[in-house]
Amino acid sequence: MKRTQIYLTTEQWRDLVNISAREHKPVAELIREAVDNVYRVKTDQDFKRALHDAAGIWKDRADLEPTDRYVRRLRRGTRLKRLGFGK
């Protein structure tokens, strides 16, 4: 990592400090994220890494029903009737 110095307006600094407190992240990390989001060229490898990192992020959520039950509930209804197979 390289160290650098930047000049921010008072408003920019105030915004960053507020976001830093809200997100529990250092101001330097917020600036690095902003630079990456605006100026960094995205590659296929970045996309694959993001998919890998996102896999399973909701696995421990107790407020979600099992996926198969959720899909069955969505598909329940008048589908067969609309297709001429139901009562």
DSSP letter assigned to residue 32: H
Q: Is residue 40 within 8 Å of residue 54, measured between CB atoms?
A: no
In a domain, 3, yes or no: no
Domain count, the chain: 1
Task: Pick the more confident residue, 82 or 9.
Answer: 9
In a domain, 14, yes or no: yes
Query: Is pLDDT above 90 for 28?
Result: yes
The mean per-residue pLDDT over the stretch 76-83 comes to 76
In a domain, 78, yes or no: yes
Q: Is residue 78 within 8 Å of residue 86, measured between CB atoms?
A: yes
The domain of 63 spans 10-82
In a domain, 1, yes or no: no
In a domain, 17, yes or no: yes
Task: Pick the more confident residue, 34 or 75.
Answer: 34
